[in-house]
Amino acid sequence: MKLFEAIVEANQRAVKGDARAGVHVAEFAASLPMVALTCIDVRLNKLMPGVLGVAEEQFIWLRNAGNIITSPLSSTTRSLALACAVKGGKEIAIIGHSDCKVCHTNVGEMVDRFRALGVERARLPDNLVEYFGLFASERQNVIKAVDFVRSSPLIGAKVPVHGLLVDVATGKLEWVVNGYHALGTPATAQPVARLNVDGPQLTKPVQVAAEAGEEPAPKPRIVPPPPPPPAPVPPVLPKRRAQTRAPWER
């Protein structure tokens, strides 16, 4: 049994009332510390990391609103990568939760909430769904985030990336993506252009420069259209010779 298999198994036993359920952390020392991305919801403060059954010093906890990842090279992906490269994280878990307020807030409500804080609509990005990463399903949001992390060039191919959901009422964990099964299989997320977040127009992608040593992408060859055929030249009729008449024929 691997680390997160033991975590999910022990969690579900505990939810059913087994007081002896727990994770023998010493058996999984090679898989620790673990790295987890969760939402900023305050209801998670008491659940994590206890719901996972690991000690605080073995739990690298990253948080953002809605546990959202927007691209393989986003700032959150960068933090996950540094948690592995610098802090020694061995496995990554994207953990969504039930009753997520980000999921249940639509664009109109968001505009009203910002207006109540003194931020008018004109000061917000054009595409609020894209910029804030709004989503309609906690499960699909976790799957999308896992896909982005697995396809990121910043994350080692041997690092398992899991997706889970936690019930904020009961603390029960549910598998969404088993990262052990996904190891060695190609990720499906496609690299996307990074967004220009410096100015007011936040919906236009900018061109990403090639990394050092990379071959620049070949530019498509533009083939000019064939020239139009020449206009037809009217035939030149032979000139008729002028006839002269003898005096007696006049």
Superfamily of domain 3-100+135-182: Carbonic anhydrase (3.40.1050.10)
Could you tell me which of 184, 190, 138 has the C-alpha nearest to residue 161? 184
Looking at the chain, the whole-number percentage of residues with pLDDT higher than 90 is: 60
What are phi and psi for residue 161, nearest 5 degrees? -120, 110
Task: Decide which of 105 and 243 is more confident.
Answer: 105
Task: Write out the two tokens for 137.
Answer: 């399903």
Rounded to an integer, the average pLDDT of 81-91 is 97
> Please, which residues bridge with residue 173 across strands?
166
Contact criterion met (CB below 8 Å) for 185 and 157: no
Q: What is the pLDDT of residue 132?
A: 83
Above 90 in pLDDT, residue 165?
yes
HSE-up of residue 201 (Cα within 13 Å, Cβ side): 3
What does pTM read for this prediction? 0.71
The residues near 176 (Cβ < 8 Å, ≥ 6 apart) are: 96, 139, 142, 143, 146, 163, 164, 165
What's at 168, amino acid-wise? V
Task: Provide the Cα torsion 27, 52, 77, 57; round to 10°.
Answer: -60
Enclosing H/E stretch for 129: helix 128-132
Q: What is the pLDDT of residue 202?
A: 31
Q: What is the pLDDT of residue 145?
A: 97
Above 80 in pLDDT, residue 234?
no
Q: What is the pLDDT of residue 203?
A: 33
**C-alpha span between 171 and 164 (Å, rounded):** 12
If you average pLDDT over every residue of the chain, what do you get? 81
Domain layout of the chain by residue ranges: 3-100+135-182
pLDDT by residue (tens digit) across 179-233?
A: 999 786 655 544 333 333 333 333 333 333 444 444 444 444 444 556 666 655 5
Rounded to an integer, the average pLDDT of 35-55 is 94
